[in-house]
């Protein structure tokens, strides 16, 4: 008989799918690493499990403990699955910009959800960074995950996502394209791929309102770059320790509108029902198509499923309210 011992054993080994229509103007072969095939429907399952296992191993997370994390939803879902199987409590702290579906899903898998305002600085006591730390400090037998600075995040992708992509492309990959939030995926995959072949280009997709692109190009952390944006899952107003800028060859910014439109386009042209940052990744790649040639093999990672965005990206009224649709 062939079966998994728990849902956690089904994490990883996601498919690589050729994109045919949405990237038809790109000379290269473009392959999508479709991470919604993970049991929690996102790439974050990989690092959530790794962070928990590493914390168990060194004693930071103790039996029947409470896991506390600031998460936009996907990391929370990965943590929730592991918490259920392993017998932990979970408190997820998030922001009011995230889709309602993400919170509903977290509650469905037993997490307690605390919602904080988006439009405050990271240092503000009301921010989701500060609130996460405070709740962890106040909760007995708790462990604060801190995916932004937790090295297990990057390590998960160095150990699983990177090797999968290398094997699935028979080592022929020339470019890796991915949205950047905590930095774990791009840094872990990028490190693995560059160790295999230093000529592989690592391209990060950023959003307007985030500090990454300017910091990468100038070394300047510019507060003027920071303002509210609607794209979920990428960009930051901080510099997470998991973003290894030395591995990233360039950043490309994509507008909120284009990210939303191309997320929808991905569903309608390729049948890939994906999340908000996936549209940004595709549009970013299209903006960079002039840097590609016919012999190139591009892998673009699609973070999550469209199911988290039914009330926003896939809702005409919401799209019109943002003036993304007329």
CA 30 to chain centre: 20
**Residue 274 DSSP one-character state:** B
Q: How far apart, in whole angstroms, are the C-alpha atoms of residue 85 and residue 24?
A: 43
DSSP bridge partners of 230:
none
Quote the radius of gyration of the chain (alpha carbons, Å).
19
Q: Catalytic residues, which ones?
A: 44
Q: How far apart, in whole angstroms, are the C-alpha atoms of residue 307 and residue 314?
A: 9
Strand 89-95 to 112-116 pairing: parallel
Q: How far apart, in whole angstroms, are the C-alpha atoms of residue 50 and residue 154?
A: 10
Q: Is 177 left (phi over 0), alpha (psi -120 to 50) or beta?
A: beta
- Look at the block and give the residue holding tokens 């990060």: 204
The first and second tokens of residue 326, run together, are 């007329």
């Amino acid at each position: 008989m062939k079966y998994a011992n728990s849902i956690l054993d089904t994490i990883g080994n996601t498919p690589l799918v050729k994109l045919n229509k949405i990237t038809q103007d790109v000379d290269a072969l473009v392959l999508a690493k479709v991470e919604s095939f993970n049991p929690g429907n996102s790439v974050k399952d990989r690092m959530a499990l790794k962070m928990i296992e590493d914390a168990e191993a060194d004693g930071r997370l103790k039996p029947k403990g409470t896991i506390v994390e600031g998460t936009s939803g996907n990391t929370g879902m990965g943590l929730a699955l592991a918490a259920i199987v392993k017998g932990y409590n979970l408190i997820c702290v998030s922001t009011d910009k995230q889709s309602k579906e993400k919170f509903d899903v977290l509650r469905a898998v037993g997490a307690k959800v605390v919602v904080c305002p988006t439009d405050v600085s990271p240092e503000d006591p009301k921010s989701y960074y500060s609130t996460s730390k405070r709740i962890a400090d106040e909760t007995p037998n708790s462990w604060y995950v801190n995916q932004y600075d937790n090295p297990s995040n990057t390590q998960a992708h160095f150990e699983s996502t990177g090797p999968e992509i290398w094997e699935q492309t028979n080592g022929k990959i020339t470019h890796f394209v991915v949205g950047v939030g905590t930095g774990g995926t791009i840094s872990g995959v990028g490190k693995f791929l560059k160790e295999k072949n230093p000529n592989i280009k690592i391209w990060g997709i950023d959003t307007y309102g985030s500090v990454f692109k300017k910091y990468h190009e100038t070394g300047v952390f510019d507060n003027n770059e920071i303002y509210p944006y609607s794209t979920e899952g990428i960009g930051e107003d901080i510099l997470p320790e998991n973003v290894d800028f030395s591995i990233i060859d360039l950043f490309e910014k994509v507008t909120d509108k284009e990210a939303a439109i191309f997320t929808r386009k991905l569903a309608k042209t390729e049948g890939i029902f994906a999340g908000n940052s996936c549209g940004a990744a595709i549009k970013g790649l299209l903006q960079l198509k002039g840097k590609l040639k016919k012999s190139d093999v591009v892998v673009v990672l699609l973070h999550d499923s469209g199911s988290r965005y039914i009330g926003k990206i896939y809702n005409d009224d919401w799209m019109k309210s943002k003036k993304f649709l007329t």
